[in-house]
Structure formats: structure tokens, C-alpha cells
Structure 1
């Protein structure tokens, strides 16, 4: 074996070591960038954390309000059942917010981007379902909520004193639900792409929409 062959083998071995080192450094850089990117996504969803925490507190308020009224009546009246509805609504608020906070807590900076994508998709689905469950029903829920609240504050039974007005308020609530449904379908028309995008962000939640955009940017960076 000549000196030239020995030098060539040594040079080849050196290049292989250098390539392995660069690949290792590249993987380390990508992992660090992935962790930083997921951390930014987590911090960027603080409004969602705050909103779900406030939702849980409101749910506790509804439970306390409902229990204090129906337990004082126990007469099977409309006011009694309104208080029951308020309590059930509070339980639903807490359950949905607790599930959302649990999903947020499961996002890990050390996980793969695919895992983060799956968790964000599940969280988005839950958030939309929760918004429809406890948001849209306010068109009707405000009636038992306000009547229960006023009964708790001043012992005023609106069902006994307002009569037909309750039916009118119920009709307004149904009209509001139908109007919201119509506007949602109208805004989703391909002829109004900007409005459709804004509605998607509103339904999904701006924090989740921003998190998804950041995740897409991070995936693009890693794949390049």
C-alpha cells in the first residue's frame, strides 16, 4: 500500500467523521428549534388557558346559583327547573374547560411535530364543540339564568309575574339561533373568502388558529 493510498483512506475516513458530526449537529439543531417552536406555540395559547379557567369559574358560579335556588324551592315549579338547568349548564362548562386544559397540558416540547399536530386537531375539535354547546345555547339559556339570578337576589319569580313575556323572550332566542345559523352558512360562501377565513378563526379561537399557523411554519422549516 502506497503513501498516497494511505493518505486517501485517512482523508476519506476524516470526511466520513465530519459528515457524521455535521449530521449529528444538524439533528441537534432541528431538535432545539422544534422545542423552541413548540414552546412558542404553548406560550401563544395563554388566552385559551385564561379563557378556559374563567369558564370553569363561571361554571362554579352557575352550580352555586342553581343549587342555592332549587334546594330552597323543591316545589317542581318553573323556577325550580330553571335552577336545575343553570346547575347542569355549570357542570357542562367545567367539564369542557377541564378537558381543554387537560389537552393543553399534554402538549410536550419534546414530542414530534406529528404528535403536536394531532393534539392541536383534537383540541380544536373540542373547542368548536364546546363553543357550540355552551355558546350558542345562550340565545335561550339567558332566560333561565336571569330568572334564577333575580330570584336569588330579590326573591322575584319572573315566570309568575311576566307571563306572556317569557314566551316572547323564548321566541326571540329561537330567532337568534336561526339567524346565527343562517349567517354562518352565508359567511362560508366561496364568494367571501376573507369573511370565511375570519369566521374560521372566530369559531376555532384565535389562539388555536395562531398556534396552527406557527406549527405549519415550524414543519416547513424542519422539512427544508
Structure 2
């Protein structure tokens, strides 16, 4: 009889330890998930700012090309800036969607996959497109701004210089990326493209996964 009582006591103690362990895991997970959400806020604010800038570019560019419809090259210039503004809005909306779909209640592996989708978008799509466009978008932006004051930059000499400058800037950026990859710094390039918020979120998830394994 005493042996049976001892077995029951051990079973009760085992269940109590399991409940305590589960509670500790949940408390740890909740605290880290709060940290993850806070870590993603700068990314959300940055995308909201980018969307605002995109809207402003669209509004200003639309007013510009609508007011210069008699000059084809200025219309093209305004439309290019207009399109760039729409692209900024679309990219920001895509990032915000990928952040919003991260479910803190999902298993860690599922959240890691969601974060991987966000990283892939920023590294493989957003960063290359921004790199290429950033080397050339300043041309129509500068042209449009000066045209407001009656200065038309159109000339073969200016266009040749501007495009050459853009190509040189793009080549320099690509060379830097290539050299960093050759130096074994490919991960650093990708981390820079993904952003600190994504890196911090990944680190938090790894912390949770390690705690649950232990």
C-alpha cells in the first residue's frame, strides 16, 4: 500500500512539474513575442513613412505632368516620378502585409517561415530594385524640380552626363556588393538588406526555439 501511495505521489509530482514547465515556457514565449513585436515597430514606422513619401510624390508628380502637357519630355519626366511614387507605396504595402501576417500564436517554425518570406522579399526584390532605381531616379526628380522654376534641363549633353553618372553609380554599388560576397560577407549584405528589425525578430525566435529544445 505504501508503494502504491509513493507511486501516486510521484505521478502527482510529475504532473505538477510538467504544468510548471509548460507555464514557464508560455511565460518565456509571451515575453519574447512582446519583444519581437516591439522590435518590428521601427520597420512598420519606416514603411509608413515610405508610403507617405510615395503619396506625396504621386500627388506632386501628377500635378506636374498635368500642368506641362504641352511639353512631351516634361510629361515623361513627371510620369517617371509618378511611377516611382506608386512603386514606393506598393513596396511599403507589401512589407506591411508580410509583417501583419506574422502570427505570434503560431508555432515557432511557422513564424520563422513567415519571417523568411519577409526577409526574402526585402533581400531578393526590394533591395535590388531600390539599388537600380536609386541610381537613376534622381534625374527626373531634379529635372522636375528645376522645371517648376522654368529651367528645362533638356539637352543631349545633360542627358548623356546624367545617364553616365547613373550607370557609374550602379556599377560602383554592384562592385561593392560583389567584393563583399567574394570576401565572405554575403550574409552581412543580406542582413543589411533585410534590416535590423528582421534580424532582431529572427534572433528572438531562435531564443524561443532554443529554450523549448532545452
TM-score > 0.5, shorter chain as reference: yes
CA distance in 2, matches of 1:26, 1:155: 73
CA distance in 1, matches of 2:9, 2:147: 84
Is the CA contact 2:78–2:144 (under 8 Å) kept in the aligned structure 1? Answer: yes
Is the CA contact 1:65–1:148 (under 8 Å) kept in the aligned structure 2? Answer: no
Map 1:18-167; keep pairs closer than 5 Å.
18-75=13-70, 77-128=72-123, 129-152=125-148, 154-159=149-154, 162-167=155-160
Deviations 1:177-212 (A, max 9, x none): 1121121011112xx34x544433222212212222
Return structure 1 stretches of 4+ with deviation > 4 angstroms: none
Q: How many residues align?
A: 213
Match of 2:180 in 1: 187
Deviations 1:143-185 (A, max 9, x none): 0111112223x132222xx441221111110111112112101
TM-score by length of 2: 0.91
Structure 1 runs not aligned, ≥5 long? 1-5
Deviation, 1:36, is 1.5
Deviation, 1:108, is 2.9
- Given the alignment, which residue of 157, 161, 168 partners 2:161? 168
1:204 aligns with 2:194: yes
CA distance in 2, matches of 1:156, 1:168: 17
Q: Which has the larger radius of gyration?
A: 1
Is the CA contact 1:65–1:149 (under 8 Å) kept in the aligned structure 2? Answer: no
Deviation, 1:142, is 0.7
Structure 2 runs not aligned, ≥5 long? none
Is the CA contact 2:131–2:170 (under 8 Å) kept in the aligned structure 1? Answer: no
Is the CA contact 2:51–2:89 (under 8 Å) kept in the aligned structure 1? Answer: yes
CA distance in 2, matches of 1:114, 1:10: 41
Give the alignment's Cα RMSD to 1 decimal. 1.8
